[in-house]
Amino acid sequence: MTDTQWKALWRHAAPPVYQSTEALKPMLQARTRPVFRRIRSQLLWEAFAFPVILLSYYDAFDGARRPLYAHVLLISVAVAILLHSVIGYLRFRPRKETAHLKEALERQLRRMRVYAVYSVFSRGAWTLAMAVFFSTALTAHGWVLPVTFGLLLTTQVIWLSRIWGARMRVLRDVVGEMSA
């Protein structure tokens, strides 16, 4: 078949329709929800990456030349993000099955909002902690690093806000369809 034939078949296919709330029940299972699966994979990736960074930053980035407060700030923010990842992983598992699917999804949406705010905030704090750590040894062109980290922080906050907004929009749309 050619692309044109595939596209024609796609255009003429019937859109999926939710026939009942029973058809949506699998969304309550932790392994079947695509949004939560992506969140879990992100959390697991971070749970692997931050310990690697913490184990290697002292040697890799001349930690002996940095002041103690820069180390404390960097380590405390990294540990806070790791704890946030573990708590988030546990938080997005369904706690118990409920008789009302809509109620369970609304509860997940509320939990996701709180988690998203802290996620964006903690990643911003990580960027600021890195800026403090690396700016303690500036010798020349002292304005380049703060401007670079400022742009990185702004880009990161906008990007993460859009990602979390899209995730919440998917869940909000499902809850809205169930209400209609």
pLDDT digits (tens, 9 = 90+) for 11-25: 888 776 655 666 656
pLDDT for 65: 81
19 within some domain: no
37 within some domain: yes
Confidence of residue 48 (pLDDT cuts 50, 70, 90): confident
pLDDT for 165: 92
80 within some domain: yes
47 within some domain: yes
43 within some domain: yes
Q: Is the pLDDT of residue 158 over 90?
A: yes
120 within some domain: yes
Q: Is the pLDDT of residue 112 over 90?
A: no
d(CA 131, CA 148): 9
pLDDT for 64: 80
Q: Which domain holds residue 113?
A: 33-179
Question: What mean pLDDT is reported for the chain?
Answer: 79
Reported pTM: 0.67
Q: How many domains does the chain have?
A: 1
82 within some domain: yes
d(CA 120, CA 91): 17
2 within some domain: no
